[in-house]
Amino acid sequence: MALIAPLEIMGYTLPERMLPDISHGQMFCKWLRDAHGIDTDALPKYWHMYEDGRRIQAKAYPNALLESWRAHFHNEWLPKRSMDYFKSRDGVALQYLPKLLPAPIAA
């Protein structure tokens, strides 16, 4: 994932109970509906199994949306949602997140 592997390389281990991919998935679906008029309820679904045995029904996005998913993650979820997500769940991650955020653009 674009989040977990870089965090682990820096020395942070994501607690098993945390599922930031679900947080981003919800935000991405809202963006697809609001910005692009895509009926996300019509997307195919599958059962996703986590290593700890949890199963959730997840949306299967078409490959054509992969570039949009990546851009949305890096430009929207990571800078606008990740700090609040981790602050309320595991504040230890807060020291690592700034290293993943895009550098501010000088005015």
| Predicted local confidence at residue 107, as pLDDT | 56
Model pTM score: 0.82
Alpha-carbon span 61 to 95, nearest angstrom: 32
CA distances from 93 to 6, 10, 26, 55, 66 (A): 12, 10, 21, 25, 26
**pLDDT by residue (tens digit) across 13-56?**
999 888 898 899 999 999 999 999 999 999 999 999 988 888 99
d(CA 9, CA 54): 25
